[in-house]
Structure 1
Amino acid sequence: MVVLATKIYVEGDARQRALDSLRSLVDNDIGDLEVEFDLGIRHDDFPSVTIEGEDAVVARNVLREEWGEIVPDLEAGETYVGTLERWDEDGFVLDAGTAVRIPTDQLGLGPGSPAQIRERFGLVQHLPIEFVYGGADGDTDDGEDAPSRLSDAERDHLFEWSRGDGRLNVNSATRAEVRATLNRAGHAQDYVTVERLGLLEQSVICTDDTDPPGLLASIGSYLPAELRCVVP
């Protein structure tokens, strides 16, 4: 079984649509292999994929690479993926099956408070984020454990956002739902593509002459979601 590092936190019909979307994506990832799989959702909203068949080991590795994996125990110095659960004056808290705090001075995303950094980089709640586990959540008095930090790859990824085209990041919606909303609201020509960040977290990459805050104002009423802009 592989527990994917993306959450299904919506309810009602939206939850079933999200599960159906995930089933399709997993099938795209491993459907060509000699396996059968079943999807479930854990009590903490992380989806689990049970895989059987001749290529089961390969299939599990493919899903780990594509989505990241929630594991029972974290080891210091290893890289994992968690979802952005909350933020406060002291840093970010990620959900990686257990709460992992990334102190402000370990974010490595430039000056500002965690709330300001979140706003600057357009980080929506539940966004999957890669981190290096330090063995402690900011408490290093024992001299052995170090605080957890964002991975170098994650920092580079986010800085690339700030140097590239404008973006509008969205949560609580599948990629298909975001694209349908953009098109229905008359913005089919105002974006290049919708990049999938997690199952329910998407990034709308704007065209050169599209203003991300203006796009947010235009479609915000159509999406029951959190929306955050990235303005280069």
Structure 2
Amino acid sequence: MVVLATKLYIEGDARDRALDSLRSLVNNEIGDLDVEFEIGIRHDDFPSVTIEGEDATVARNVLREEFGEIVPDLEPGETYVGTLETWDEDGFVLDAGQGEGVRIPAEELGLGPGSPIQIRERYGLVQHLPLRFVYGTGNGDDGGDPPRLAEEEQDRLYEWTRGNGRLNVNSATRAEVRATLNRAGHAQDYVTVERLGLLEQSVICPEDTDPPGLLASVGEYLPAELRCVVP
């Protein structure tokens, strides 16, 4: 079994659609292998994929690479994926499936000046966004190293601020975001919708599209959190 590091936190019909979307994503990744799989949702909203068949080991590794994996125990110095749950002046708290969140102190974010709240706004970080982090050996007060945002994550987020602008969205699948943009008359106002997690997407804008203007136009159609990245 593999527990995927992306959450399914919505309810009702939208939850059923999101589960169907996840099933399609998993099938796209491992459907050509000699395996059968079933998807369940844990009490903490992380999906678990049970895999059986001759290629089961390969399939599990493919899903770990694509989504990241929630594991029972975190080892110091290793890189994991957690979802952004809360933030305050002291740092970010990521849910890595341990029950108690992993706190990344402000000085370990590595994303430039400003408070964690300002950094979240600058990089358009929506709640539940999967983020890679390096688990620490302590909390920083006991002589150990605190958890920190992984360098590859820092690089990815810096790249966001060097492009033409983005509109990040949660609580919706990629297909739902694309359909909403098209229905709202913005088919020409985005390059693509990048999947960040199952329900977290990034609308990549062309040079002549203003992300705040796009947010103002489509916000009423998406029952979601929306954050802009403006270069």
Residue 97 of structure 2 aligns to which amino acid in structure 1? G
- Give yes or no for the alignment of 1:124 onto 2:126: yes
Matched to 2:115, the amino acid is S
**Which residue of structure 2 aligns with residue 193 of structure 1?**
192
Structure 2 residue ranges without an equivalent (≥5): none
Counterpart CA distance in 1 for 2:137 and 2:120 is 24
State the match for 1:206 in structure 2: 205
Q: 1:89 Cα shift?
A: 1.1
- The Cα offsets for residues 41-62 of structure 1, whole Å up to 9 and x where unpaired, read as 0000000000000000000000
1:98-109 map, 5 Å = 98=98, 99-109=101-111
Q: What whole-Å deviation, never above 9, does each CA across 1:109-161 have from its counterpart, x for those lacking one? A: 0011111000000000000000000033xx33332x21000100000000000
| Partner SS for 2:161 | helix
State the Cα distance separating 1:180 from its structure 2 match. Answer: 0.2
| Count of aligned pairs between the two proteins | 229
Separation in structure 1 between the aligned mates of residue 210 and residue 182 of structure 2, nearest angstrom: 16
TM-score (norm 2): 0.98
2 CA distance for matches of 1:41 and 1:86? 22
Q: 2:20 aligns to what?
A: 20
Q: Structure 2: how far apart are the matches of 1:223 and 1:176?
A: 13
Secondary structure class of the residue paired with 1:20? helix
Match for 2:201: what amino acid? Q
For residues 164-175 of structure 1, the aligned pairs below 5 Å read: 164-175=163-174
User: Hey, what's the Cα distance between the residues in 2 that align with 1:30 and 1:224?
Assistant: 31
Aligned to 1:81: 81
> Which amino acid letter does the alignment assign opposite residue 43 of structure 1?
H
After superposing on structure 2, the runs of 4+ consecutive aligned residues of structure 1 that deviate more than 4 Å are none
Secondary structure at the counterpart of residue 28 of structure 1: helix
The Cα of 1:184 is off from its aligned counterpart by 0.1
Separation (CA, whole Å) in 1 of partners of 2:208 and 2:21 = 31
CA distance, structure 1, for counterparts of residue 137 and residue 215 of structure 2: 39
Percent sequence identity over matched residues? 83
C-alpha distance after superposition, 1:57-78 (max 9, x if no partner):
0000000000000000000000
1:7 Cα shift? Answer: 0.1
Rounded Cα–Cα distance in structure 2 between residues aligned with 1:193 and 1:158: 17
Structure 1 CA distance for aligned equivalents of residues 221 and 176 of structure 2: 11
Q: CA RMSD in A?
A: 0.6
1:90 deviation in Å?
0.6
What amino acid is aligned across from residue 131 of structure 2 in structure 1?
I
